[in-house]
């Protein structure tokens, strides 16, 4: 089955700096790669995703890049703000018309230092 | 808005008890999942279901079973609770055409 590794497990950055979280996956058939953000005491929520036919996707201060050959994808957060502090999870899935199964990484706790 | 609701936010059970965790979604999603969240281990898939009365084992099914008698409800059952099942349990539903997972608020289970 799919295996997703995520690094680093913790990350502290100064407010205004950039943060990068990296994930690798094992199953070359995976074609959908979402990122979830979990704030303290809350449920995980989707913040951005990318499909295997795209190399990069941006949404304001957040971007995700995908390298299919190397089987890794990364989350980039620019101009970090205190509200970016949370646990971030990457995931991989092979969408198969109803048989989606999301395999998650182990999470990164991001702390933004004011 | 999709709503996924778990029946309890906090539960304390004794070792050996049979425990039921309930999850209900209101968006007619076919796919429902139970994850377990532990620090440093991320979200690990216990069981999932693609349709009523269907179930598939995830990565860590031992000690658990599930029930899906109606499309909107997916139950996780701990047949005989043990202390190593103390954890946060998250239910999720996923729409096949959207693929986004919508999570419940989580149930923090403590087995004593």
Q: Name the helix (H) or strand (E) containing B85.
A: none
The chain A residue lying nearest B48, using CA atoms, is: A101
Kindly determine whether residue B42 and residue A98, on different chains, have CB atoms separated by under 8 Å. Answer: no
Kindly determine whether residue A95 and residue B99, on different chains, have CB atoms separated by under 8 Å. Answer: yes
For B43, which of A32, A34, A104 is closest by C-beta distance? Answer: A104
Best A4, A6, A96, A101 residue to mutate vs chain B (most B CBs within 10 Å): A101
Tell me the pLDDT tens digit for each residue of B83-92. Answer: 999 999 999 9
Q: Which of these ranges, A33-42, A58-67, A88-97, B69-78, has the smallest mean pLDDT?
A: A88-97
Percent of chain A that is helix, strand, coil (3-state, to 5): 5, 55, 45
Model confidence at B99: pLDDT above 80: no
Taking alpha carbons only, the member of B74, B90, B80 closest to residue B19 is B80
A46 touches chain B (CB under 8 A): yes
Residue A86, both tokens? 């949370």
Kindly determine whether residue B103 and residue A98, on different chains, have CB atoms separated by under 8 Å. Answer: no
Q: Name the helix (H) or strand (E) containing A30.
A: none
For B48, which of A49, A101, A104 is closest by C-beta distance? Answer: A101
Report the C-alpha gap between B49 and B34 in whole angstroms: 9
Tell me the pLDDT tens digit for each residue of A51-108. Answer: 988 899 999 999 999 999 999 999 999 999 999 999 999 999 887 655 678 899 999 9
Looking at residue A97, what is its pLDDT? 59
Greatest Cα pair distance, chain A, in angstroms, is 44
Residue tagged 């969408």 (tokens)? A95
A106 touches chain B (CB under 8 A): yes
Tell me the pLDDT tens digit for each residue of B18-42. Answer: 999 999 999 888 899 999 999 989 9
């Amino acid at each position: 089955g799919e295996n997703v590794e995520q690094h680093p497990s913790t990350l502290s950055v100064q407010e205004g700096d950039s943060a990068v979280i990296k994930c690798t996956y094992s199953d070359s058939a995976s074609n959908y790669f979402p990122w979830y953000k979990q704030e303290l005491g809350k449920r995980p929520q989707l913040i951005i995703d990318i499909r295997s036919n795209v190399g990069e996707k941006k949404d304001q201060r957040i971007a995700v890049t995908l390298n299919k050959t190397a089987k890794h994808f990364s989350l980039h957060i620019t101009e970090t703000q205190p509200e970016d502090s949370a646990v971030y999870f990457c995931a991989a899935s092979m969408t198969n018309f109803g048989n989606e199964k999301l395999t998650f990484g182990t999470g990164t706790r991001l702390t933004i230092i004011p | 808005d999709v709503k996924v609701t778990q029946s309890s936010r906090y539960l304390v059970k004794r070792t050996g008890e049979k425990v039921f965790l309930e999850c209900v979604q209101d968006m007619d999603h076919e796919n429902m999942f139970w994850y377990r969240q532990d620090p440093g281990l991320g979200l690990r898939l216990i069981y999932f279901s693609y349709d009523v009365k269907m179930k598939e084992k995830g990565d860590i099914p031992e000690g658990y079973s599930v029930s899906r008698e109606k499309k909107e409800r997916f139950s996780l059952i701990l047949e005989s609770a043990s202390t190593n099942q103390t954890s946060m349990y998250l239910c999720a539903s996923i729409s096949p055409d959207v693929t986004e997972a919508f999570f419940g608020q989580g149930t923090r289970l403590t087995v004593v």
